[in-house]
Amino acid sequence: MSKASLVIMAAGMGSRYGGVKQIAGVGPHGEILMEYAIFDALRAGFDKVVFIVTAALAEGIKEKFGDALARRGVEAVCAVQDYSSLPAFHKVPEGRVKPYGTAHAVLCAAGAVQEPFAVINADDYYGTEAFSAIFGALAGLDERRACMVGYKLRNTVSENGTVTRGVCAVEAGTLRSVTETYKIAVFPDGSIRDTADDPAGRLLDPESPVSMNFWGFHPSVFGTLEDYLTRFLKGLKPDDMKSECLLPALVDERIRAGQLIVDVLRTDARWFGMTYKEDHPLVQAEIAHLHETGVYPPTLWG
């Protein structure tokens, strides 16, 4: 059995980005953001990578990563997220194309993961030290304990549009609640505001810890995920085209019920990712700087 798996959620549609952002090249040799996460994870000690992908992406992912990871003694597995993995009682509304969210995505990896695991988004850059921190924490997890990497809100916003973040309340290093907050925007005066209900925005603390979907779980979480997804689907209206079953909402529910303790691993790292097409050149510049300063070698897999 592997020591720890890295589960990468790569099945998102990238509607705001306007394309398949998971495979957009950002490195000096066309490397994609996922490659930097994998590189950092292997340096930290992870020895298995599970890609949650669409059926259309699966073969390309295997071709790109399979041999390279195998040469390093790392197992690579693709788990497909599609409607066929939903419970039989649920009828997908005609015309719906949107995936059913991050909780469903992680549940799709259940057959491939029997060890403690970290889960990340494919289109985010998390920082080298974050992988080391979460790898060290995974060994201490059980069915009642999880962990997450908490980023400062000011280090996770985009100048090119609004973002959604799980805004966290933390006490003595433990997560007390996580609130999925939509339409967070940077205003011209530099303030950060939640504009979901008011264009003028509700002021947010830029130092607030937020979740970037960098979680660490014991494999027993899959049973909880299955139950949560079932309850979510049973509560949907028959014509619901957009609702998603989200991982932070599950974590928040279990914390409030006293069923889960989540250790928050704080970091000063600056997150960056490709939510919008306009983010692409900025991400390229950030990655180039990391190569130039020696954080990464000239060629990742050389």
Q: Which residues contact 32 (CB under 8 A, 6 or more apart)?
A: 22, 23, 24, 25, 26
What is the CATH superfamily name and number for domain 5-292? Spore Coat Polysaccharide Biosynthesis Protein SpsA; Chain A (3.90.550.10)
Helices and strands (H, E) in the chain, number of each type:
7, 13
**77-99: pLDDT as tens digits:** 999 999 999 999 999 999 998 89
* Contact indicator for 158, 272 with CB cutoff of 8 Å: no
At how many degrees (to 10) do helices 128-138 and 33-44 cross? Answer: 50
Q: How far apart are CA 64 and CA 76, in angstroms?
A: 11
For position 12, what pLDDT does the model report? 63
Q: Is residue 131 scored above 50 in pLDDT?
A: yes
> Any bridge partners for residue 272, and if so which?
125
pLDDT bracket for residue 8 (50, 70, 90): very high
In the chain, domain spans = 5-292
Average per-residue pLDDT for the chain: 91
For position 276, what pLDDT does the model report? 79
**172-230: pLDDT as tens digits:** 999 999 998 999 999 999 999 999 999 999 999 999 999 999 999 999 999 999 999 99
Share of the chain above pLDDT 70, in %: 95
Q: Is residue 275 scored above 80 in pLDDT?
A: no
Radius of gyration of the chain from its Cα atoms, rounded to whole angstroms:
19
Q: Which residues contact 163 (CB under 8 A, 6 or more apart)?
A: 156, 157, 184, 275
Residue with token string 């028959």? 238
For position 144, what pLDDT does the model report? 96
pLDDT bracket for residue 301 (50, 70, 90): confident
pLDDT bracket for residue 14 (50, 70, 90): very low
